[in-house]
């Protein structure tokens, strides 16, 4: 049987059907929520329609002062590091020199270069042998 409805009519009927189904689902959800509220056996956290706001916690003056002192110490440490000055730690009061990075000697650098050349030569050789085996098996 050919479709006697135009595309506009079909779209309108589809939209009306979707609205009706949405209304049915909303009434079903409302009924389920009221059942869960009345029975008291449901998961209270998920079924509550209103959310409780968490109270903001307040810091004491001593807590704020401790945080401020810690932050000032961090700023001082960062500033001293950028200026190249010696760092003083508030707990020990001593000074600590910045950590020096060890440099690679020329002989060590040469040895690493040789190792890497051998490594990559072996990798290239392995790749060419795999490639040669792959083309030989396709013939």
User: Is residue 19 pLDDT above 50, yes or no?
Assistant: yes
Question: Which pLDDT value is given to residue 31?
Answer: 92
Burial code of 81-91, b = ≥16 C-beta within 10 A, e = fewer? Answer: eeeeeeeeeee
* 52 pLDDT tier (thresholds 50, 70, 90): confident
Q: Is the whole-model pTM more than 0.85?
A: no
User: Is residue 20 pLDDT above 90, yes or no?
Assistant: yes
* 86 pLDDT tier (thresholds 50, 70, 90): low
Region 58-82 average pLDDT = 93
Question: Which pLDDT value is given to residue 131?
Answer: 85
């Amino acid at each position: 049987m050919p479709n006697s409805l135009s595309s506009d009519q079909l779209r309108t009927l589809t939209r009306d059907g979707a609205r009706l189904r949405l209304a049915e689902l909303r009434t079903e959800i409302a009924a389920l929520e009221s059942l869960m509220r009345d029975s008291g056996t449901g998961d209270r956290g998920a079924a509550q329609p209103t959310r409780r706001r968490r109270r903001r916690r307040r810091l004491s003056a001593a807590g704020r002062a401790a945080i401020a002192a810690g932050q000032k110490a961090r700023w001082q440490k960062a500033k001293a590091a950028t200026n190249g000055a010696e760092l003083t730690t508030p707990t020990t009061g001593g000074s600590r020199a910045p950590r020096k990075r060890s440099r690679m000697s020329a002989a060590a650098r040469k040895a690493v270069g040789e190792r890497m050349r051998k490594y990559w030569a072996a990798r290239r050789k392995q790749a060419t042998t795999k490639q040669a085996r792959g083309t030989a098996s396709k013939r």
